[in-house]
Structure 1
Amino acid sequence: MTPLVAAAVLVAALTHASWNAIAHTIKDQLAAFTLIGGGAAVIGAVIACFAPLPRPAAWPYLLVSALLHIGYQALLMRSFSLGDFGQMYPIARGTAPLVVTVLAAVFVGESLDIWQATGVAVASAGLLGVALWGIRGRTKGATRNGPHWPALLAALATGLSIAAYTVVDGVGVRNSGSPIGYIAWLMILEGALIPAYALSTRRARLLAQLRPHAVLGLLGAALSMLAYGLVLWAQSRAPLAPVAALRESSIIVGAAIGALFFKERFGTPRIAAAGLMVVGIGLMLHTTG
């Protein structure tokens, strides 16, 4: 992983946390993801007019990835409706890196050197620390006897879907011959279904429900496409596991957004966990020196 790739993934982490915060801000989650998905599909269609088509070998991965992304968005909507942003977002993102490491080793044949493997493990420990600190009694619906399990299970399932599409797209973009074309067609395929579902269920009411959130939702769409476009570009130039772990530094950004804008507590334990994340990033980049 070169410094340029690392920088691209860190920018992706910032923009990803930002669009997720926008989605959480819009209380009508179906309206939020209709605007974000539909806006990204429109942007993707414009880009597809100028980018080369992905090679035929990439299309099966595109189709599977689109289905996985739709499942991810449905689970993310469920998570945001049940829990705090500062808790659900870190859990959803924090479960992915270690799962990606295993999947990449099994299905892609990637192996990490000792520094990268240690870095992924340390960074993942930091990510999970950010995610799990204070989980008891802090999730919506939690009781004195424990956390609100439906919210936590939705967040964990979201993390597993993230790991799945990360590996699928990592292989697909390498077979595409056109990372820009791949991301454009992925946005078209995945972005059209949620708006279609919203239109079929809400019909004439949909436009009026979208209008108050249009600017914010379309901003989220642009940030969403930029975030994943940078990740796909990075995946075409570096191993999947370190990219996945570094990408999830968005958890730190998400926790900070939760503290600053949603008045959710950050706290010393999460600062310590963020320190682990920084150490892990340093270890992952060690081999570039």
Structure 2
Amino acid sequence: MSVGALLLIIISAFMHATWNYLAKRSNSGYAFVWLYMLVSTIVYAPLVVGMFIFSKIHIGWVEMGFILGSALIHLAYSLTLQKGYRIGDFSLVYPIARGTGPVIVAIAAVFIFDEKITATGITGIFLIVSSIFMITGGLQRLRKSNRIVPLIYGLVIGVIISGYTLFDKGAVAVFLIPPLLLSYGSILWQLVFLTPKAIRNWTKIKYDWLKYRKEAIGVGILNPLAYILVLTAMTFSPVSHVAPVREISILIGTFMGTKLLAEGFGLQRVIAAGVMLVGVILVALT
């Protein structure tokens, strides 16, 4: 992997952890999601216009179907993520969601793409599962506390992440839909889906804009940009190299939660995130 690609991925990882940190700080729900979707739609519209001007883009029923399907999965992800952040620690929900996603993808790939899981992959899965227990404080603390619900949310988000990963991979790799078109179209449809509810609850929209304006703008810019940087790195670097390095965001996000949000199990969760990162790398390398 070149130095340029490595820098792009590391910057992307910081952006991904940062926008999730901002989403956690908002402590909001659908209104905040609608606001940052609106910001993304406005900010990245010139890129999409330029793509249509300088490239030959075909949008048929297949492309529209994948864009719509991607939008539905990503909308479920965005709303579930906000709910998870409202009830659980960022340093718990974020690493579990990001760590379990690759495991589910790896297992699903065995059945969908007829891939094989090697001993290295099995070791990685074991490390990820072990790190989840470390992050939650172990079975005893899990039973005696309110961490089980955030844990479930983290796992559900991980399932959704694996869903849109497999779905979007098929869209861009098999049906050759341009990534920017897929991403922007998905954001646009999500905005459309949420707009009727936003109009009915306009007071909540105005409240969130006044209170969480900076967070909404930050997420609206960083969320798509982090993904665009990864896609750029993939154009001149192997995906098998990009994917594991990208998951350094697990360690960054956990550190943000324990230090910036003063959440519990600081050092223990950072160590657990490091173990999870190693597990994700092993799964990716398999």
Q: Does TM-score exceed 0.5, indicating one fold? A: yes
8 Å contact kept, 1:37–1:221: yes
CA distance change for structure 1 residues 282 and 244 in 2, over 3 Å: closer, same or farther?
closer
Q: Distance in 2 between matches of 1:106 and 1:254?
A: 31
Cα deviation for residue 185 of structure 1 reads 1.8
Match of 1:226 in 2: 225
Task: Report the equivalent of 2:99.
Answer: 94
Q: CA offset at residue 241 of structure 1?
A: 7.2
**CA displacement at 1:123 relative to structure 2:** 5.2
> Is the CA contact 2:171–2:177 (under 8 Å) kept in the aligned structure 1?
no
Q: How does 1:104-183 map to 2 (within 5 A)?
A: 104-109=109-114, 118=120, 124-136=125-137, 145-174=144-173, 175-183=175-183
| Structure 2 unpaired stretches of 5+ | none
Deviation at 1:74, TM superposition (A): 1.6
- 1:23 corresponds to which residue? 23
Alignment-derived partner of residue 61 in structure 1: 66
**2:76 matches 1:71:** yes
Aligned to 1:253: 252
Deviations 1:31-50 (A, max 9, x none): 43222222122234332211
Other structure's SS at 1:51 match = helix
Equivalent-residue separation in structure 1 for 2:233 and 2:109 (angstroms): 15
Larger deviation, residues 98-107 vs 11-20: 98-107
C-alpha displacement at 1:130, in angstroms? 4.6
The alpha-carbon deviation at position 242 of structure 1 amounts to: 6.6
Letter in 1 for 2:176: S
The alignment of Structure 1 onto Structure 2 pairs a total of residues equal to 278
Alignment partner, residue 89 of structure 2: 84
CA contact 2:126–2:279 (8 Å) conserved in 1: no
Aligned mates of 1:3, 1:60 — CA distance in 2: 37
Going from structure 1 to structure 2, the CA distance change for 1:206 and 1:147 (only over 3 Å counts) comes to closer
CA distance in 1: counterparts of 2:105 and 2:33, whole angstroms? 25
Q: TM-score, normalised by structure 1?
A: 0.79
- Which whole-Å CA distance do the structure 2 matches of 1:67 and 1:239 have between them? 29
**Unaligned runs of at least 5 residues, structure 1:** none
Paired with 2:90 and 2:16, the residues of 1 have a C-alpha distance of 13
Q: Which moved more, 1:128-137 or 1:203-212?
A: 128-137
Separation in 2 of the partners of 1:181 and 1:208?
32
Amino acid at match of 1:17: A
Residues 181-234 of structure 1 deviation map (CA, whole Å, 9 limit, x = unaligned): 33222222224433542332x124522431232222111111001122234456
